[in-house]
Amino acid sequence: MPSKPGKYGIKIWVACDAQSSYAWNLQVYTGKPPGGAPEKNQGMRVVLDMTQGLRGHNITCDNLLYSLGQELLKRKLTMVGTVRKTGQSFPVHC
């Protein structure tokens, strides 16, 4: 990415409570393993890992995936966020 300040870095995903800003869960990602292939569906895996054990909460994210929403509903969680016009199609009933 041209706007990235450096080639290397650490990505930290944090699940926080919206009212108290309490960090409930976090994951540190330092990159794919040497010689390893890029992970597929990483965003979905991270959200499902980070919400493990939650019930009755609403998850806010920046890009919605319909399949992620279905998995969260199975766990009694709801999701709200942005949908890209060019992204994955949603069923008519959404």
pTM here?
A: 0.72
Q: Can you give the residue ranges of every domain in the chain?
A: 11-81
Contact 40, 17 (CB under 8 A): no
pLDDT, tens only, 6-54: 767 788 999 988 889 899 899 998 887 788 888 888 888 999 999 998 8
How high is the pLDDT of residue 40? 84
Tell me what the mean pLDDT of segment 78-85 comes to: 78
* CA angle (13 as vertex; 9, 16 as ends), nearest 5: 140
pLDDT at 10: 83
Q: Is the dihedral of CA 16, 43, 27, 54 positive or negative?
A: positive
